[in-house]
Structure 1
Amino acid sequence: MNIRASLLPAGDTPTPMPLDEQLCFGLYAASMAITRLYKPTLDRLGITYPQFLVLQALHEQEGRTIGQIAARLGLESSTITPLVKRLEAAGLAERARNPQDERQVSVRLTEQGRERWAQTGCLAPLVMARCHVDPAALAALNADIRKLLDALNAGGRPEAE
């Protein structure tokens, strides 16, 4: 059920919303545009956007487990494992099993991974340069998006209709 439908009195038939009025589409399109903006920089460094996110998570906290990286990025562990394996094959990260619990795999940046991170760093200036928006306005937008994400995550799974 869309937002318009939930706001209508019972019995009224909602009209379909144009894509540009749908929040999910706006967020998706903006995310894709930002990823396209980052791509030339990431291509020069030989990493993908998901790999960049893993590097960032490891830069924030070394020695995270696969599960902790997945939780930080809002992804499944089964998605993170191949990303980490590719980073390891590229010499940017290393994995180690926890001797107390073999199921846990800890991931650390290698020296080369730390150097790559330093070359990549924060890509936000690319967005600010492209869209000519005041940094405070972008920070406020990001805060609003984080509140939305927190609210969506706190809401749990929607009930089946």
Structure 2
Amino acid sequence: MRSLTEDLRCNEGRWLPTTARLGFGKDKFNKGTTYKPVWLYNSSEFGLDNVTTCEVFDFSTNARRQLVPASPCRILAYQRPVYFDGSLYWLTECQETKVVSFHLYSETFQVISNKAPFPHLPDHCNVTMCVLDNRLCVSQIFWPTQVIWSFDSSSGCWTEMCSIDLTETVSW
């Protein structure tokens, strides 16, 4: 008998790609408490026709299932998903960077931000998504400046929370 960890990591006899990052969140609309681990990964490099593959583990049935359709955009492979307010969020790898969400209750994907103020990410290592002040935020370092953008879900707009001159704050 496989352990839960082995079951979560194993995909039809294959291990999930190392770039698959586990998202974990709470479906806040279901009665009771429903937590869901979610894997979303770029699958075209594995010879699959679909752009991404999404798998959800269901604790009530102790099984995982593949969701179709998955995200409409390739995701930044090494970014960890962020949980906020009943959804998981990923930055995309499209020609222009977008933010895609996965609603844990309806199990559907949606591009929530087509016009991000950080349209082209020259270095994916210098961008981080997080939750600050109860808002989805993206921090981008473009040396010598770090800018933190905040997303207002009601208007669908990004606003600059702050800009930090790193030459003033970082001592070598």
TM range (shorter): under 0.3
Greater RCO structure (CA 8 Å; 6+ sep) = 1
Greater gyration radius: 1
Report the TM-score when normalising by structure 1: 0.22
TM-score by length of 2: 0.21
